[in-house]
Structure 1
Amino acid sequence: MLPPGPRTPSLVQGAYALLMPQRGMRRLRRRYGDAFTVKLPIFGRAMVVSDPAQVKQIFLTSTDVLENIEPNLGRVLGPGSLFALHGENHQKQRKLLVPPFHGRRLAAYEQIIEDETVRELASWPENTPFPVQPSMMRITLNAILRAVFGAEGSEFDELRDLLPPFVELGSRLATLPLPQDSWWSPWHRFRRMRSRYDDIMARLIAKADHLDQRDDVLAMLLQSRYDDGSPMNHSDIADQLLALLTAGHETTATTLAWTVERLRRHPGVLHDLVDEVDAGGKALREATILEVQRIRPVIDMIGRQVRSDRMDLGPWTLSRNDRVLVSIALLHDDPSVFPDPRAFRPSRFLDTKPDFYAWIPFGGGTRRCIGATFANMEMNVVLRTMLRDFTMLSTNEPDERWHNRGVANAPKHGGVAVVRRRTRSSTGSTPVTTAGAQS
């Protein structure tokens, strides 16, 4: 009842998926079509789809029939995180978490992001190749910490030290079939780091005051109430904030690194973006961010699991507990959806908004990332500030290859850049250099 697929052992298929996530999936689609079945170490047998109509059906299907896949990131981020919750509990928590990332609150974060960007870019070397991803990681981590907690202190310093290795280890554990109960496995180290995080969170919550005068996410969650008037318990708040802190900084930073990698190899787009920044515009910049997410999606797959006795998906029939994986990369690479899909062409998004059933870097349906608007705003501000203050030199070097970091796919060398600080006119306003020079 499921489509055909490779018959090699699951460990071989898992290694293939980790080592060749893009080329491997494209080869399978060429051989088997838009739907095929794989066997993976963590998920077992799973149907991979990339047909736009089937993807739309998956996102619109009731959670009584199709729910989040098991296991998922909840085993890393905690049982109270949105990744681990199902049904009504998921809807209740999501309702409380959406407001901080929209409207007035979202606008309040823009200055925080620009301040963090300017601070980090001050350390950039001129005329020397360097990877931008570590810088982008620091920018997005500091920005999300300030957005979530509102101010700085000793706990902030502890979280800055803890979260990068915590995210890297958790990202890898989420994709590896390693036992969680063994004392010698990396899970033991992960649990020690999680315990340290919980201790920091307990201290932050204990000393939180003047909540009605604060504009950060922690203050809002401590004041929030479910429909029955009850508050969120502190362990759930800790889990939800961990999800925001981890998912909200690595994927955004990685996309920014891919943006640098793409722009250096497309000097025409880079030149036009600088002209737009100097003129105070933003349309091309917003389109560029959408196109980077299309052509270099940081996340490979979206997973769902059948909860009903039967589900028909296109010509195929799935049974209870069958798993479905939506391939983001294959969907974004479909020429029937995006003409000439391998071309980096931001103009394709200038006059039209992306279809949220075809352009899906943030997932879709009831589990679409609640921080999508925040992430796009953050990337917009970082890119604007970078192009305003620096000339980025283009290059004829080959594209950086994909590098698997566990959950996320990053540029192999971290998005190598060569930059020069832009000089400003005598009035101190608009920078006067150009950004199309060849390295």
Structure 2
Amino acid sequence: MTTLPPSPSSPRFVQALATLTQPHRGMRRMRERYGDAFTIHLPPFGDAPVISDPGEIRQLFQASTDVAETLEPNLGRVLGPGSLFALKGDEHRSQRKLLIPPFHGRRLAAFEQLVEDETVRELATWPEGRPFPVLPSTARITLNAILRAVFGAEGAELEELRELLPRMVTLGSRLLFLPIPQGGGRWSPWGRYRAARQKYDAIVDRLVDKAERDERLDERNDVLAMMLQSRYEDGTAMSRRDLADQLLTLLAAGHETTATTLAWLVERLRRHPNVLHDLVVEVDAGGKELREASIIEVQRVRPVIDIVGRHIKSDIQLGRWTVPKGRNVLVSIDLIHDDPAVFPNPRAFDPSRFLGTKPDLHHWIPFGGGIRRCLGAAFASMELNVVLRTTLRDFTLVPTSDPDERWRSRGVANAPAKGGIAVVHRRAIRVLPAAAGATTGARS
């Protein structure tokens, strides 16, 4: 017997309009009226149950791929059929296995200096003493960092990708849930995206050709080199088409969301001067615990992605609800992060709640969960840590009493409406008194 959460009586188009134009306010109003689960009509997912109960979320994330698979439709529509977002079952597991090594352990640590170098280079352009939005800067940092991590050394191709990818990501995020026309002219939105994708494929082909001719390929640490040398269990290599799709997935997913989270960090820290002060003290002392907690907390209070979910392939029982085959189930990231039963005083920005503890990955879900959890979560966390550390080391971020910046949808990610306005001053270098015969440099 099908038992779905309650649904509003308003017409479907009204439900869709409210949810799409005011996602946070709309979802929270639904919770106030119906509780932690309800069913809404949300294009393109249809009549979909929305859940935010931790136990039900855990059940969904732990369901086998025979029962619950990747949400339909998904980012694979714009990233390609070989993207992790599009792949299912054994194909997804095989591809994911090939992509895990570059983003963990020693390989991950090798990228830290790269991220710091890109941060220092971008911070040198920051104006002092006047307001400016940091989001364009953080977008350049994250784009340059992921390009170098994926492809290695600089070159003409990377310059082309720096120009091309931001336009592709912006256009693709707007097209994500729109119907794909059978035809469509060259200058239609889908036509422009296909043209950009063809240009991207040509650039990647040249980079692959160069890498395959590199006699020292096995000494390189970049993701492309590792992927070219990786093999599936049957000994075969990844096809060029799948390689291009996976690289685009890494470039797009590893760029926009991290840049937006950095902008939210600036927005939140400027409005919490006590936390900001303690972070600077910690940076000067060489610590990191509060910084890591602050990064976790900003992803809780300002998640850049609204929802994750699963497509139901076989009837499933989720706590109180029986969801039939063919439905999509949506998990509201904002609602579980805003649940006082899970996070006391949830709307307060309070990094201390994560000091000395790690979040439960079925409660804190900015990267999704289960087998579909974001592959680049560790890379993103490292990048956020390095960029924030470098910024606080080199600049004084001026607090503000301005109202909170509102949420603004950028297609896939939710950003601060003004781009994370900052006012900064470069910190002067001071020399601390020598200790035990050693001289230590620090920033004042």
TM over 0.5, shorter chain: yes
Which aligned pairs between 1:394-433 and structure 2 lie closer than 5 A? 394-426=399-431, 429-432=441-444
Query: Secondary structure at the residue paired with 1:293?
Result: helix
Whole-angstrom CA distance in 2 between matches of 1:14 and 1:246: 27
Q: Structure 1 runs of 4+ off > 6 angstroms?
A: none
Corresponding residue for 1:144?
A: 146
Quick check: 1:66–1:306 contact (8 Å CA) kept in 2? yes
CA distance, structure 1, for counterparts of residue 125 and residue 188 of structure 2? 38
Residue 291 of structure 2: which of 285, 300, 303 is its match? Answer: 285
Tell whether 2:199 aligns with 1:199.
no
Shift of 1:328: 0.3
Verify: 1:274 aligned to 2:291, yes or no. Answer: no
Unaligned ranges ≥5, structure 2: 433-439
Matched, 1:370 2:368: no
1:130 maps to 132
Q: 1:67 aligns with which of 69, 72, 81?
A: 69
Amino acid at match of 1:391: T
**Deviations 1:222-251 (Å, cap 9, x if unpaired)?**
000000101111110100000000010100
Q: Any idea what the Cα deviations from partners look like across 1:119-166, whole Å, max 9, x if unmatched?
A: 000000000100000000000000000000111100000000000111
Distance 2:319 2:182 in 1: 37
What is the distance in 1 between the residues matched to 2:123 and 2:20? 33
1:98 matched residue in structure 2? 100
TM norm structure 1: 0.96
Cα offsets for 1:336-388 (capped at 9, x unmatched): 00000000000000021100000000000000001000100000000000000
SS at match of 1:425: strand
In 2, the alpha carbon distance for the partners of 1:180 and 1:171 equals 20
In structure 2, distance between residues paired with 1:26 and 1:178 = 32
Secondary structure at 2:241 match in 1: helix
Aligned to 1:437: none
Percent identity for Structure 1 against Structure 2: 67
Aligned length: 431
Which one of 285, 303, 327 corresponds to residue 332 of structure 2? 327
Cα 1:243–1:2 change in 2 (3 A) is same
Alignment check: 8 A CA contact 2:73 2:177 kept: no
Cα shift at 1:181: 4.2
Return the offset for 1:73: 0.4
CA separation of 1:178 and 1:128: change in aligned 2, threshold 3 A: farther
**C-alpha displacement at 1:10, in angstroms?**
3.6
Q: TM-score, normalised by structure 2?
A: 0.95
Query: 8 Å contact 1:35–1:50 — kept in the other structure?
Result: yes
In structure 1, the residue corresponding to 2:357 is in which secondary structure?
coil
Give the letter aligned to residue 282 of structure 2. E
The 2-side partners of 1:356 and 1:240 are apart by 25
- Quote the offset at 1:9 in angstroms: 3.7
- Distance change >3 Å, CA 182–CA 81, structure 1 → 2: same
- 1:180 is displaced (CA, Å) by 6.3
* Aligned counterpart, 2:435: none
The offset of 1:426, in angstroms, is 5.0
1:230 aligned to which of 236, 249, 257? 236
Would you say the 8 A contact 1:225–1:231 is kept in 2?
yes
Distance 2:37 2:21 in 1: 21
Contact kept, 8 Å, 2:431 with 2:442, in 1: the verdict is no
Gaps (5+ residues) in structure 1? 433-439
- 1:137 aligned partner, one-letter code: A
